[in-house]
Amino acid sequence: MPPLAPAFARPSPVQTTRLLPLGAMLLASSVGALAQQVNEAEVKTLKQVTIIEKAEEAQGKDSLRATTTSIGKGKQELRDIPQSITVLTEKLIDDRNLDDFKEVLRTTGGISFLAGETGEEDVRLRGFSLTQSGDVYVDGMRDSMIYERDTFNNDRIEVLKGSASMLFGRGSTGGVVNQVSKTPSLMTSHEVNVTVGTGNERQVTGDFNFQTDENAALRLNLMNNEADNYGAKVGKSGAAVGYRWGIGTQDEFLVSLYHLEYNNRAVYGLPWLTSGGEIQTILDSKNYYGLASDYNRGSANYATASHTHRFDDRAELKTTLRHGLYYRDLWASALRFTTTPASASVVNDNTSISRTQKGRIAYSTITNLQSDYSDTVTWLGFKHQIITGVDLSNEDALRNNNYAGGNATGTLSTTLVGTPNDGEFRTDTRGDAPMNKFNARNIGVYLQDTMELTPELKLVGGLRNDQFTASYYTTAGGSNNRNDSLWSPRLGAIYQPNDWSSYYTSYGTSYNVSGDTYQYAVGSPTSRSANTPPEKSRNIEVGGKFDLFDKKLMLTSSLFFSEKYNERNTDPDSAATQELLSGKRHTAGLDINIAGRITPAWEAYLSWTWIPNAKIIDAVYTTNANTPQAGDRPGLTPVHSGSLWSTYKIDSQIRVGAGLNYRSRQTPLTNKNLNAKEFTTLDLMAEYTINEMTSLKFNINNVTDERYADGLYSSFYTAGAARSAQLTLKLQF
């Protein structure tokens, strides 16, 4: 037997630990004593622990179920967070070929989409704006909102529903989305996926992980995606590289670089017709009616460095620095019927469609620095799990949201329903864009304590303070400044009578400052909205989390009440022109999530949200009869929304899967008398394992070619994707 003392020695202050934390916890004596006393049984026990550690790290790759999350600051068990969380694992993303960030969100209950006037779609969660408030994060750090994301470097995507300002600062009432990046691990393994599909799609992704030392690893992820897509071209490429060393030791480091760029042909939206108050989606969603010169270009480039220090008493301090550059340039065609047809029945191949140019351009430079400390201590006879930290952010932004060019009317050539993708091109003669300038700075400090009154009962209390400062400078010479200081509390209780069930109740708040979306103060320097105090919201939730079928499947359910109680009437959730904190609205409903194995061969995932009660309580709106008034249901808040995915392993080589996406009727934001019809789409998958290194997977999405409105605006919609098929070859080595 080789000597064990060097591997298990407790390090001196100048040494580096060479054990994973789980292994270090097993030590009960000094190196010399252990080297003399260890026997074969102990060796087997230690090896078994190491295997379990690796299995836990790979859970999202091999299962639809996740047991831990990092969205609550630091790594936590899902059952220990008193709030509804939906985790979309890498396996779910791979099974359904969810390459685009928005495609992933479509498989989450409670999600809807605003088709923005400038082509930048706004994601809604529980009826409240998510992306307009900047509530999308990468590894717990606020992400830029101006680029289109891809999932090639995502280990999983976590959706925390309800108010979360105690953890993240300013943000939406609806919740927060966190993209968890792939990181190097202590094994050498590689995976390459090659996909071909309808619309002349060609995609290649590669995930290469190299163990370079006993506690160091390098990981490289690559992506290239090209598609003609019947005119709506896609051209994306990306690379992410990370090097991690000191893995599992007292001091662990990670440095990484991320690059994504795309040059797509933008699909702005399609015009609708109405009949009996229902929106009719009459045009083929596969057809592209824009110009050949239309584009949507962008990029994201950021570098990240982090250091984790583990103290001898199991306390942990993690500090992360990120600096990123982001860019977006959109030049697209807004489509309208040249003359509105009297009914859908008269629309034919000769019906004329006009094209009006829309444009916007944006740059952002964002620097984030945050440090989080976690510890477990005993005070006054009670066990306390403490998380505390500070985060600093600075963003410099340049924006022009109306950079279309064109003639006086902005109307371009027409095309016909029967001649999509006609190839007409327009030369860009706009020149350099005049840019509005924006700078935002924030310092946030938080503290949360989870106190264990008994082994079964825990109380959660947290408080955060943010100091937000923003400056605006317009091309017209105007300027504005904002300074906000806000406190965000969080309270909760968790009851865990056994190791498979957890019951909770929680209360949290959130707020939206006027500087969230770069739009409230870019006008005149006397803009009232620029000086409007932040909106405030609260969320009350009661729920339970259950590990079923020998802890192979997790079921979570929660009742929630989310309320924005001093809504700004010019915020993205309304269409009025007043700048008053007079609005009030709420949503109340039920969330259910299921993820995991029912049998060794059968896996299932379900995310469903039911919002029977959603109401505008108080508002000052225009007298337009179509505009939602007090007592009405707010737009983009369907009663039912959800997604189901299930797979079954027929034998050692064949696995099949099927899924549904569903959304019930909903209205646009600004027209309460119109409804987009409910829809259900069906997806199918079949996978054949050739050998342990090679497999083939065939996907058909939207099998019935359902025609529906995926996103809504006041006069047009974004179409749901038409039926498509993909064949993927996976190589693992």
* Under 8 Å between Cβ of 666 and 679: no
Q: Which of 492, 410, 396, 421 is nearest to 451 (CA)?
A: 492
For range 129-152, the mean pLDDT = 90
Residue 1 has pLDDT above 90, yes or no: no
Model pLDDT, residue 401 = 84
Per-residue tokens: 407:
């003639």
Q: How far apart are CA 462 and CA 506, in angstroms?
A: 11
Q: Identify the residue with better confidence: 118 or 521.
A: 118
Q: pLDDT band for position 170 (50/70/90)? A: confident
Q: What is the pLDDT of residue 120?
A: 63
Beta carbons of 91 and 62 less than 8 angstroms apart: yes
pLDDT band at 121 (very low <50, low <70, confident <90, very high): low
Contacts of 523 (CB under 8 A, 6+ apart): 474, 478
Q: What is the mean pLDDT of residues 182-186?
A: 97
What pLDDT sits at residue 478?
Answer: 76
In angstroms, the CA 551 to CA 557 distance is 16
The rounded percent of the chain whose pLDDT value lies above 70 is 85
- Please report which confidence band the pLDDT of residue 122 belongs to, taking 50, 70 and 90 as the band edges: confident
Is the pLDDT higher at 636 or at 26? 636
Tell me: the pLDDT tens digits for 393-428? 999 999 998 888 764 445 568 999 999 999 999 888
Instruction: Give pLDDT, residue 695.
Output: 98
pLDDT of residue 517: 52
Question: For position 411, what pLDDT does the model report?
Answer: 54
- Average pLDDT of span 542-569: 92
Q: Is the pLDDT of residue 544 over 70?
A: yes
* pLDDT for position 519: 46
**pLDDT classification of 348: cutoffs 50, 70, 90:** very high
Beta bridge mates, 55: none
Q: What is the mean pLDDT of the chain?
A: 86
Per-residue model confidence (pLDDT) at position 268: 85
From 50-54, 255-259, 495-499, 603-607, the region with the lowest mean pLDDT = 50-54
Q: Is the pLDDT of residue 527 over 80?
A: no
pLDDT at 242: 98
Domains identified in the chain and CATH numbers: 5-57 (no CATH), 85-732 (2.40.170.20)
pLDDT tens-digit series, residues 372-382:
999 999 999 99
- Low-confidence winner among 426-435, 453-462, 468-477 (lowest mean pLDDT): 468-477
Ranges assigned E (strand) in 515-601: 535-548, 553-567, 583-597
Strands 501-512 and 479-495 turn out to be antiparallel
User: Cβ distance 247 to 223 under 8 Å?
Assistant: no
Bridge partners, 504 (sequence order): 494, 543
pLDDT value of residue 569:
62
What pLDDT sits at residue 258? 98
